[in-house]
Amino acid sequence: MPTKTYLVTLTDEERHDLRALITKGTLAARKLTRAHILLLADEGRTDATIAAALHVGTATIARIRKRFVEEGVEAALSERPRPGKAPVLDAKHEAYVIATACSAPPEGQARWSIRLLTDTVVQLGMVDAVSRETIRRTLKKTF
């Protein structure tokens, strides 16, 4: 049997903290699973045994072991930031869009449309470009 590259060895304090975390009751499912993985790995269980007991893949267990050894308990338990595009409108701009939608429409218009709000935001120079969907989602959050 191949030797494990990343062996999980918890201190008494870490073990106690993980057990307390598990029995707390309100914990995200992923964090709970990671805590179980660390405790079972500390007991000397194999990846296959842990995977069968917790219904996760062996690659997940290997990843959690590696993160624990390289970065510590907190890193092994927590989520890493996910990639994604930054929001086009910040809170200040969203507040402006909402305030504008609640104000009187421009002359010649019966009401504010999403297209009209989009054009106004771009004309005022708040952003270079914004989609109608972004404006719609902003309004949907509040109305």
Determine what percent of the chain is predicted with pLDDT higher than 70: 97
What are the domain boundaries of the chain?
12-77, 91-142
Cα 55 from Cα 115, distance rounded (Å) = 48
> Are the CB atoms for 69 and 8 separated by under 8 Å?
yes
Per-residue pLDDT band at 24 (split at 50, 70, 90): confident
Note the pLDDT tens digit of each residue in 25-68. Answer: 788 899 999 999 999 999 999 999 999 999 999 999 999 999 99
126: pLDDT strictly greater than 70? yes
Tokens representing 76 are 């092994």
